[in-house]
Structure 1
């Protein structure tokens, strides 16, 4: 639609130039305003704007401006270079997504030259923009030298009508909250700040329509965040990561629309939420106190306590009371398996080994269980047996002896499936491969016999190709004794409990 209109406009301009030359030769320049079948060149028709003959349908300047706004940034800039009408609408172009991709800059070997070109183009675009009509503004500026320019850029782009702001700023920079006061931020719906200080004050007035807030590596205190959230009546999505000044995160009850909360590595001591409709909670970091209220509506919980030992036992005994309406649980435990060996005792080879039981803990709604990175740790075997013995609604249980949590949608082995995107299995060290085989043996000895006849058990063993010990020994001999597969990361365990 946009490019078709642009071709018509350019054809009309060529016709206009030819007519002018002909009129100049004949000395018969007439008033363009009296011609029929015209194209609005600029201004409002009520003010006697000039019109040009145009063979296509009549379109007002507002329609042309809307067509222009639908073009990607680079196409919109090119159109402004060949059209006076688009040049005027360029000064009100609504989507200023200023990234190296949208500006047509490829990454060069000389990073300083590359970034200099980027900032030159950003400066040129914003200086030629009126600041009127901007709805989406995205900018990456991590250089301390440009802080003085940054103030001017933000002042131009952040104005009345702004809906979405995404900024990655220098760590020494404090976002000027005054730009969002006085009505400029009343229409703001999405705010994302990265790597700066954010010091909001009471009565800012920009958060009443805000539906999504993302703060990453942002300096903001408990009181400042609480002050800002106290006016976010429409907030639905809150994402906080690496905000090291936060200690106690308190979500007030007035956030009735809040349904999603993600907190990652913020060094918190406590999360207290009174939001009545919070349904999804994702947390990664140190062990903290969770207070979600007696009537918690959290149905999806994704949690990882990095410093919690025997995490699986903690999940069984504590989480049930914190999230009574839970439907989907994903937990990660780094302490059950570690590179080079387990921190916890492995089950013995004797099938008569006494395993702990927890009578009285019934799970009546649980239907699907998946454990990724199943190992021979006693606590892991105990948890699995507990689920099988106390879950009357269970339909399927999947135990994967290999820890591959980086591609949950395409888990498999390249020796048995072709759905994996990478074309190869997750790489393992020799110790990890041995532990995977011990995990399979533990399944056969302690678990398979306890699986009810109406429950489907799926056991995923190590790949016969990628996790073959003889092949790994040959690679180590060829590449040296310190050979390790590429992209190796510390393994963790993922447990997914998904009732329907």
Structure 2
């Protein structure tokens, strides 16, 4: 970045943090000439065009349509915080609109992308001081930074005011979140409370949180009794998520929580017992050997469990406990017992994820018995199986002395449409399971056999100069044997209506140092009898660790139930920004380019014409940017 660009970036940041100025009254567009404010941006228009650019020598004046103050504030509120701060550098009115921006996300990434940490606390202090009582959503992440610890109390006293709706705080392990911050007005308005890395000691005297629907605690020092007191004051609570809350050993959820539908307890290593009396719980996520008692199980639709031998436990116990499950995620690093064939069924189960992954899995475990879930789930539509291993110790079908494959009992599955096996290898029992699925699933549309670990960054590409993610020689060797097994035993059994995708190492690894830098990119797709190269395989699943991957699968399950994707949700906001751009309103150079960049990332907008227009604007305002600091 050039020195001029660096100076301009620093100037924009300083302007966004400057003290608030009095709001100048916008004038109606009645006079024949525009009424200019001190910033060389005018409110009003000399003709019927929505916006006009007028030059006076080397100076530029931007003529904007008159809009009431509250509309400008609403438009700015729909912009990302960084874009709204940039726009504030263009006029007094925009600067005052920035003071009322309702969504503040304060962290190192947004405030100090290129500067030292020493400026971090000063910028937080300035922004919160100039947004007194206006924030509805506050996300503050000080990341356990010692230098910020003395200031946290003051910041929260300023920012947490009546009217705030969402509070997401990542604080300091020594900090105690004061219950006094939750005043009557705050308890009336707050809908979402997320605390990370702090202590929180609520008591019964706290008072009711009348609007709180989401409570997320991560790494928070809170006891079971204190949490129960908080829950008794949160009668409209819908979601409760606890991560790494290691002071809780017994959790009781009272029956008065009539609206609670989602419960997640992850990595709470001292948690032993959960007693849930909430009558409408429909989604639960648990990790570890927690004993749980549910008052009502017929409403349970989504389940995620992480524990040893969970696959066998789920098949043997859950059909009778939770008969109406629709989505299930099972994660285990140790399965010592083969799955039994039982008459009990998951009649409503549609989406199943099984993760059995570790460095070297027991060679005595028989993958073939996983077909028991196929028998038990007549409504199953998608199956995802993760069997990644660093060193495959099972008998390989390629080296087997008896190549005969076991056959499934008579089974025809009409609903199964998509199957993905991550870490597919040449283990004989796994090949038998895959052949059985292919034969039984008469409506199968998509079969993906990934011989590696998957991951969205499996292939770094040709242009960025990076190498692909390395894998061991053992994984490389097994990947080659797995590909041979697919072509020899599975490919011919796949129906013509099924798209078979075999994911192998990319072909560029020799240029990056041989087998030790083996790339994970590339795939091959067999469709209508032929093989074609695929640069990337769609819907690639990442290996993010047992807990994280289970949480991702849980999020996907919850998204299915809501029928909304993150792209659709983000489109609601970006659609407003697109409308603003279509009005012809010039936000000035970098600001508009920033918005278009955000939109292009979301694949919502950002076409070539828009980028060219933004580049032209950027060049045109370059001349007067050097003088902007004198305006303020």
TM-score by length of 2: 0.54
Residue 71 of structure 1: how far off its partner (Å): 4.9
Residue 147 of structure 1: how far off its partner (Å): 2.9
Q: Could you tell me which residue of structure 2 aligns to residue 372 of structure 1?
A: 386
Q: Could you tell me which residue of structure 1 aligns to residue 618 of structure 2?
A: none
Name the CA distance, whole Å, in 1 between partners of 2:223 and 2:177. Answer: 14
Distance 1:301 1:442, change over 3 A: farther
Name the CA distance, whole Å, in 2 between partners of 1:238 and 1:247. Answer: 16
In structure 2, the gaps of 5 or more residues are 1-22, 28-32, 41-62, 336-355, 396-405, 426-445, 461-467, 522-541, 562-632
Residue 293 of structure 1: how far off its partner (Å): 3.0
Aligned residues: 423
- The answer to whether the aligner puts 1:463 opposite 2:477 as a matched pair is no
Which deviates the most, 439-448 or 60-69? 439-448
Q: Could you tell me which residue of structure 2 aligns to residue 95 of structure 1?
A: 103
Alignment of 1:331-480 (within 5 A): 331-336=330-335, 341-345=360-364, 362-373=376-387, 395-396=416-417, 398=419, 400=421, 402=423, 422-423=458-459, 428-432=471-475, 463=504, 475-476=514-515
Name the CA distance, whole Å, in 2 between partners of 1:357 and 1:67. Answer: 55
Name the CA distance, whole Å, in 2 between partners of 1:434 and 1:211. Answer: 51
Q: Could you tell me which residue of structure 1 aligns to residue 574 of structure 2?
A: none
- The answer to whether the aligner puts 1:321 opposite 2:342 as a matched pair is no
Distance 1:446 1:302, change over 3 A: farther
2:227 equivalent among 225, 234, 247: 225
Q: Could you tell me which residue of structure 2 aligns to residue 33 of structure 1?
A: none
Name the CA distance, whole Å, in 1 between partners of 2:257 and 2:109. Answer: 37
Q: Is the 8 A contact 2:449 2:503 kept in 1?
A: no
Distance 1:356 1:321, change over 3 A: same
Q: Is the 8 A contact 2:419 2:448 kept in 1?
A: no
Distance 1:119 1:445, change over 3 A: same
Distance 1:461 1:431, change over 3 A: farther
Name the CA distance, whole Å, in 2 between partners of 1:347 and 1:410. Answer: 21
Q: Is the 8 A contact 2:281 2:300 kept in 1?
A: yes
Residue 149 of structure 1: how far off its partner (Å): 1.8
Residue 13 of structure 1: how far off its partner (Å): 3.5
Name the CA distance, whole Å, in 2 between partners of 1:182 and 1:356. Answer: 54
Distance 1:421 1:448, change over 3 A: closer
Q: Could you tell me which residue of structure 2 aligns to residue 106 of structure 1?
A: 113
SS in structure 1 at match of 2:124: helix
Distance 1:66 1:459, change over 3 A: closer
Name the CA distance, whole Å, in 1 between partners of 2:207 and 2:363. Answer: 53
Name the CA distance, whole Å, in 2 between partners of 1:60 and 1:235. Answer: 38
Distance 1:411 1:280, change over 3 A: farther
Name the CA distance, whole Å, in 2 between partners of 1:16 and 1:402. Answer: 60
The C-alpha deviation readout for 1:277-312, integer Å capped at 9, x for no partner, is 2222222x321112223443111112211xx2x432
Q: Is the 8 A contact 2:448 2:503 kept in 1?
A: no
Aligned-pair Cα RMSD in Å: 5.3
Name the CA distance, whole Å, in 1 between partners of 2:133 and 2:370. Answer: 68
Residue 448 of structure 1: how far off its partner (Å): 11
Which deviates the most, 192-201 or 485-494? 485-494
Q: Is the 8 A contact 1:239 1:262 kept in 2?
A: yes
- The answer to whether the aligner puts 1:177 opposite 2:179 as a matched pair is yes
Alignment of 1:255-294 (within 5 A): 255-267=257-269, 268-283=271-286, 285-294=287-296
Distance 1:122 1:387, change over 3 A: farther
SS in structure 1 at match of 2:157: helix
Q: Is the 8 A contact 1:401 1:460 kept in 2?
A: no
Distance 1:440 1:326, change over 3 A: farther
Q: Whose Rg is larger?
A: 1
Name the CA distance, whole Å, in 2 between partners of 1:77 and 1:363. Answer: 53
Q: Is the 8 A contact 1:98 1:140 kept in 2?
A: yes
Distance 1:205 1:397, change over 3 A: same
Q: Is the 8 A contact 1:347 1:376 kept in 2?
A: no
SS in structure 1 at match of 2:195: strand
In structure 1, the gaps of 5 or more residues are 18-54, 109-113, 349-353, 379-384
The C-alpha deviation readout for 1:465-492, integer Å capped at 9, x for no partner, is 5799xx89x935xx6xxx7879997987
Name the CA distance, whole Å, in 2 between partners of 1:202 and 1:77. Answer: 41
Which deviates the most, 421-430 or 153-162? 421-430
SS in structure 2 at match of 1:195: strand
Distance 1:393 1:233, change over 3 A: farther
Q: Is the 8 A contact 1:278 1:296 kept in 2?
A: no
SS in structure 2 at match of 1:312: helix
Distance 1:206 1:62, change over 3 A: farther
The C-alpha deviation readout for 1:26-49, integer Å capped at 9, x for no partner, is xxxxxxxxxxxxxxxxxxxxxxxx
The C-alpha deviation readout for 1:413-439, integer Å capped at 9, x for no partner, is 599x9x977448986544446666888
Residue 14 of structure 1: how far off its partner (Å): 3.8
TM-score by length of 1: 0.66
Name the CA distance, whole Å, in 2 between partners of 1:98 and 1:149. Answer: 14
